[in-house]
Each structure stands twice: as structure tokens, then as C-alpha cells.
Amino acid sequence: MWESIHYRSDKTQHPGISSLGHIGSDVAENIRILRIRHWIKNFLLFAAPFFGGSLFLNETLLMAVPVFLAFSFCASSAYIFNDIRDYQKDRLHPDKRKRPIASNRISMTQASLLSVAMIVPSLILSYSIAPAFFYLIIAYIIIQVAYSLHLKNVAVVDIFCIAMGFVIRVLAGGAAFRVEVSHWLLLSMFMISLVLASGKRLSEVCLLHENASKHRKSLENPASASSLNEILLISSASSLIAYALYTVEMYQNLIYTIPIATFGLFRYIALSKQGMGDPTKALTHDPWLIMTMGMWLSVVGWIRYL
């Protein structure tokens, strides 16, 4: 008798447990599709106040979270839209095939609703922060939509689209925190953005080999690898020159950070040629880059704030 009671009790628990597990899985996949780890790129919003010496002012600190969330929600919405467009090609990529849409763990309808749910609060919040910040978010959305629909298939243009995403973050941070972005800082950020964009593409070629052209049309040309390598090297040299000029022109003591920046740049080039050039992955998984970034931020912070 007791055995039958225990048996019936266990059976009645299974549907509830299964339902909770299903809900938990759905929540996890919804969070995963937002690519929250990519939000690390949105710390570029703080570049202008950081270099401008106003990062720790009360006005900046009070606005930090709303500004960061407004842009992060917008970026996540763009990521979802891109995943919807690319889910078939993502299945050819060793890492991207695990994304929720490509692996059929989230439906197109669910992903579309989530994308809208992210962009609406982003627009409302950004406009309440500053109209200029709002307009830059609109510009970011336009570029990302154009990129997802067509521009990602055009060689070189795709790299500039990726780079502009980084540059807009810097400009948006200046607009939100009402800090002027110096011309030299903007030039430095633009050149390093080209480094990250070209490194990401070169990494895909090295990782996918003959499948690279199937994954991305902009890589169909057999000479893509050599072209990307040249772009990476030229933009790397240009970014170092621009940063060196920025340190001399604006804050001469920052010249002592050039060796640190040079090492970080060379390390990223090496990772790109090994198929590990995704900026987010490189900055969060490579111990040498993490250490270099921490050292660079510490020295710049010490020079600007102490």
C-alpha cells in the first residue's frame, strides 16, 4: 500500500517539476539570446568621461547605470535581429550554431517579440537622458539594421559597419554625460575599432577555412585572408600613431601607457591569426589581454585622477 502511495506521489510531482524545468530553460535561453557578455563593449560609453577626468563626478555616477542599460538594451535588440537573419548561416559556425535561434531553442516569433521588448525601453530611456544620446542610438540602430540586411555581405563595408558601432558608443557616451570627445580620442577609437573589426573577420577566416565563404559572403574572395591581414596591420599601426599623438597633444604623461597599449595590440593580432579574434571573447578569456587591459586602465586612471 505504502509503495503505491509513494508511486502515485512521485508521478504527481513529475509534471510540476517538468514544467518548472521548462520555464527555467526558457528564461535561460531568453537571457542567452541577449548576449549579455557582449555588453562589455558598452563600457566604451565611459571613454569620454574617463579620459576627460569627470568619471567619478556625482552627475556622471548617477547617470552611469541608465546610460549603460539604455545602450545595452538597444545592442541586444540588434543582436537578436541579426540572429534572426543569420540563423541558417550560424549553423555552419562551430560556436554560433549553439545560439538559441540557430539551435531551435527559441522560435522566430519569440525572438522578434523579445527584440521589440528591448528596443522600446531603450528609446524611451535614451530620450529622457539626452536628445543627442537618443539620436546616436537611432544612428546605431540604422547601421545595425542595414548591416544585418545587406552590408555585412560587402567586403570592407562590413568592417566599417562594425567599427562604427564602437565609435558611436564613444560619441553616445560623450553626449549622455555631456563631455566633449576630443578629435584625437575619436580618431584613436576609430582606428582601434578597425583593428577589432578586421581582427574579428580574419579570425573567422582562420577558424572556418573553406567554410568561411559559406558563412559570410564578404569572405567569398580567396584573397580575403591576405586583404584582412593588410587592413589589420595598417589599422594597428595607425591606431598606435593616433594614440601616441593623443597622449602628446592632450596629456603628456599618458605617453607612458604606449608600451602597454602596444603589447595589447600585438597580442590581439596574434590571437586573430589563431582564430580567437572575437573582441568580446578575447577580452574576457585571454589572461594576457585581461592583465594588459587592467594594467592600462590602472595607469591611465592613476595619471588622470591622482
Tell me the residue type at 171: L
- What's the pLDDT at 220? 63
- What's the pLDDT at 104? 80
Distances (CA, A) of 284 to 26, 135, 230, 279, 291: 26, 30, 26, 9, 10
pLDDT at 247 over 60: yes
Helix 108-129, helix 2-33: angle, nearest 10 = 50
- What's the pLDDT at 2? 42
The closest of 137, 127, 188 to 163, measured between CA atoms, is: 188
| pLDDT (tens digit per residue) in 72-81 | 999 999 999 9
| pLDDT (tens digit per residue) in 145-165 | 999 998 988 888 999 999 999
What is the average pLDDT across 32-39? 90
pLDDT at 290 over 90: yes
- Separation between Cα atoms, residue 226 and residue 139, nearest integer Å: 31
- Separation between Cα atoms, residue 210 and residue 220, nearest integer Å: 9
Cell 563600457 locates to 43
Distances (CA, A) of 32 to 26, 69, 114: 10, 16, 12
- What's the pLDDT at 114? 92
**Reported confidence tier of residue 7, pLDDT bands at 50, 70, 90:** very low
Lowest mean pLDDT among 52-61, 91-100, 191-200, 228-237: 91-100
- What's the pLDDT at 296? 96
C-alpha grid cell, residue 20: 518548472
**Reported confidence tier of residue 15, pLDDT bands at 50, 70, 90:** low
- Separation between Cα atoms, residue 136 and residue 108, nearest integer Å: 28
- Separation between Cα atoms, residue 72 and residue 122, nearest integer Å: 8
Q: In the predicted model, what is the mean pLDDT of the chain?
A: 86
What DSSP element (H or E) covers 64? helix 58-90
pLDDT at 93 over 50: yes
Note the pTM of the prediction, 2 decimals. Answer: 0.86
**Reported confidence tier of residue 285, pLDDT bands at 50, 70, 90:** very high
Q: What contacts 24+ positions apart, CB below 8 Å, involve 56-64? A: 56/305, 59/177, 60/177, 63/129, 63/176, 63/177
- What's the pLDDT at 108? 87
Q: Show the CA angle centred on residue 185, arms to residues 201 and 199, nearest 5°.
A: 10
- What's the pLDDT at 10? 45
Q: Check residue 54 and report its DSSP letter.
A: -
**8 A C-beta contact, residue 261 and residue 296:** yes
C-alpha grid cell, residue 229: 591581414
Q: CB-based burial of residue 153 (10 Å sphere; 0-12 exposed, 13-18 middle, 19+ buried)?
A: middle
Tell me the residue type at 235: S
